[in-house]
Amino acid sequence: MPSITRIDPEPFFSLPHRTSGPAGAPLHNRLPFYRAYATGLPSHVKSLVLTSDLQGRETGGQNRLLGVPVAEALVGLSRDGVIPAPDAVFLCGDLYDYPDCRKRGGTGPVDEVLQAFSVMAPEVVGVLGNHDQMEYPEALPDNTTVLDGGVIRVLGNLTVGGVSGIVGNPNRNQRRTEDDFLAALESVTDQAPDILLLHQGPTDPERAARRGDPGVALSLETGFQGLTVFGHTRWDWPWLISLGESQALNVDGRVVVVLPEVDGV
């Protein structure tokens, strides 16, 4: 079972992009990439990629969703020896932004992002955020799975579960009542996956400013022992917390490349 031991505090790479701003005009930002280290990874795994909330568009004429150049950047970084080639990518939702980046909170199809990651990694597993839709879910590549209440096995012996969406009005995109969300969550954690993917994650019980769902926090604290990866709300450093016997890692608006911890480091 993976356990994060440390995260480098400074990014090793950043990717320029546009994203919707608060006043109807695009903002120009840079997406940071970080290294983290973990014990308990399968012995053959050289790196895993964790990311969420890639709400933006690339700079330049093609105007693709930000997740597409992120996938290409990871290929380039591995080709140049900066990181090992990722064995799997785990996506925690909110991968869409309007083509003209005119307004925050746009909802639309993210098929092209899933397709891009499927080309550069042997395994891709994700959950949908509250701003994500699938235009052609039946056309997902064979190595790509979107979870919503299920658990799968990847990379030989690593189990991954996931719940899409957030707590909210069930009549809106990728939302369900809190009771239904927690029931879906606990149906997954009852299966004791090694990694749990959520879009909406827990609040930090020790830091009120680190927003999330307190019901999710309580459920994880009392009923889960693995690593939860989530997004939806931005946390400042540190992004990793302990909840009972489990860990929870917020990857909102960042790419985290997880490497095996080296003995004695």
Backbone angles phi, psi at 183, to 5 degrees: -65, -40
Find which of 16-30, 115-129, 230-244 is predicted with most confidence, using mean pLDDT.
115-129
242 pairs with which residues across the strands? 247
Q: The tokens 């609040």 sit on which residue?
A: 203
At 264 the pLDDT is: 43
At 77 the pLDDT is: 98
Please say if the pLDDT value at position 117 is more than 60: yes
Please say if the pLDDT value at position 96 is more than 50: yes
Considering only CA atoms, which of 158, 154, 144, 78 is closest in space to residue 112? 144
At 238 the pLDDT is: 83
The three-state secondary structure class of 181 is: helix
**pLDDT tens per residue, range 151-173:** 999 999 999 999 999 999 999 99
| Summary mean pLDDT of the chain | 95
pTM, two decimal places: 0.96
**pLDDT tens per residue, range 41-69:** 999 999 999 999 999 999 988 999 999 99
